[in-house]
Structure 1
Amino acid sequence: MEYVIVTGMSGAGKSTALKIMEDIGYFCVDNFPIPLLEKFVEFADSGETQYQKIAFGLDIRSGESLKYLDQIITNLRMNGHMIRILFMDASDQVLVKRYKETRRAHPLAGTDRVEKGIEQERRQISFLKEMADYIIDTSQLLTRELHAALGNIFLGKQEYDNIYVTVLSFGFKYGIPSDADLVFDVRFLPNPYYLEALRPKTGNDPEIQQFVLKAPEANIFLDKLEDMIRFLIPNYIREGKNQLVIAIGCTGGKHRSVTLTNAIYQRLKKNQKYGLRVEHRDIDKDAKRGK
């Protein structure tokens, strides 16, 4: 059983890190009660759970119980448990900027300035930074770069060949994703939008999938796309690329692109030797705009 404690400064990206950890196969629990940590590890190691990799989000929100975490981690390690610590950090200037942009109050600042809360937090969790196995500074890090960094640390080349593939659906009317490496336009396929009974549904619904995939061109497209992706991935790996974003777009990002994105994702899952996730960027935007 493998355990990772994800901790660090508030605003440094712990929540994002936990989401990424979940994407790469970890069972994640945020703000887990520290007094229960040892009992939970003993329970998990007893074989009573189906999880093999667990990540705990532990930070300043734990309050007074945080001071016991040092000894608890030491005890668990002495008893042979594999406990790794990931510490998320960022410069004070960046943290202040992030708090001001989100208009959130620092958990320790109270009515005082954000800078005071950050200073106090650094003192209280300094022991965790000293104990950390990995420290990631997100001051200048993009989310996709954080994906790559965590993949390198917790997946490595043995399991996923050191590349993480995201298959992303989008709507052209909302703009092409800025981080896309490969962009494909599926607006050549029949559009379910023009059938009133299908319009409210999405490419996650069987009715839309059947409508889109019954077009012969759809499966020809999938065959050619799968062949190209499987050709490209090992070549990208050899060139040191560790993140690949494949964007598939239709007009609104709700029907055709979602269907094709789901379909290619299912194909790529077969004999998969790399990190893989699916995302639908614009699937709900029409509904939110009342269209």
Structure 2
Amino acid sequence: MPKADFTTTLTDLFTKQFGNSPQDISAIPLAGSDRRYLRLSDGTNTVVGAFNPDKKENNTFFYFTQVFGKYKLPVPEIIAKSRDKQYYLLQDLGNTSLFQLMEQEGHTDRIKSLFKKSIDNLVRFHWEAGKEIDYSLCFSASAFDRKQILTDLLYFKYYFADLLKIHYNKPALLEELEEWSRGLSSVRPQTFMYRDFQSRNIQVQNDEVYFIDYQGGMMGLPQYDLASLLWQARAQLPTDWKNELVNYYFQALTSLPETPSFNEMEFRKVYLECVLLRILQTLGAYGFRGLLERKPHFIKSIKPALQQLKFFLDTYGHIPAFSELRYVLEQIVKPEITAQFDGLDETLLANAPLKLHIYSFSYKKGMPEDVTGHGGGFVFDCRGILNPGRFEEYKQVTGKDAAVKEFLQTKTLMPQFLDSVFAMVDISVDDYVRRGFDHLSISFGCTGGQHRSVFAAESLAQHLKDKYGLVATVVHLEQEAHELKRR
């Protein structure tokens, strides 16, 4: 079934499962993939509905969930799934992650106890469920092998270090990264590696922890997950917490039915290498999403990550054991480099001359006249989207009202339409900012200029603010007083 029908299909799946159609359907913010989520409720039953066109990824998720359920690990229950395995209903674990809770409360005793509960479960992911998993069923890589480790290291090199114009011996660094990846990939023991075990992927309900987004798991180093949890850049866990929680990992091992046998000193040494690897992989991601794509959230994360890296280098003088890599890392944590990211999330593109004007209009009355003398710009026709104005309950409201927003997000092709719009407009914005252009206009038209075009204009303005930090002037020709002429 095509993507456009995901709301209808999830509604049908809900009705078949519970015998009642959902009375309340709300969109859940999109993930960084093709997965789409809705929250559906009939007043008694509330679930999360998911659509993902990648059947292989879904099969891995279903399989991992089955194994984890067997070991009573707190992951969402799969309540129902469609025959084609692209649509499924999940237990609703709420909206609060451990990271969000920590932002609200700070580093309190309660938060520390939730981290300990997370580690209690992490050792079970590693040493209990990990023994049973068939790693040939992983949807991406089956193991965190030399190629996977080297990919993470090269991500840092190309998308962070090289973007900062650090001068270094490139052949020597590449040779060291290859040697390091070979060494880490040969370390034993290996277990199930969650891959992204961090507080954003831990949900909290009634002071209990639950785990999501584990479908990227593979066989790998258990130390990597511990490093991901304790050294998350934005979490900024205190040093004494990190030390205490590493020790707690070994304490938690004693509660297992069978305590794993390995050299604790060697485990701790590899853990520190994984901390550095995770920091570098994270900086690579922040460089790509922040320095290249200019997304404020990622740029905001760069300075905390660099601060963590500096602390690590100052504390552990023997890691990394590679001279050229050590040199590069010492260069990027210098004050003059770190200072580049002070307040950058707030001043992003503040001095860019580009001014953005976004309009909504009615095709019956005509589009806005160009007021800049440049001509050009984009005009998008929203009339291919199902019109809320056909339904009585939406006739007196506009695309700025919650009911219309929900209708367009969940019952129409508007999300796909906007994905394409954003991709096209971003190309011009990237180019115009780089070349110092001063104006770009984008217009959205629909039949009456009330619902679809208004929602699309507001959505684009929010997208450009989130991604570039640019605040657009938005004018709704049919909904607001103005003196603009029409073409």
TM-score, L = length of structure 2 = 0.25
Structure with more strand by fraction: 1
TM-score, L = length of structure 1 = 0.41
Larger-Rg structure: 2
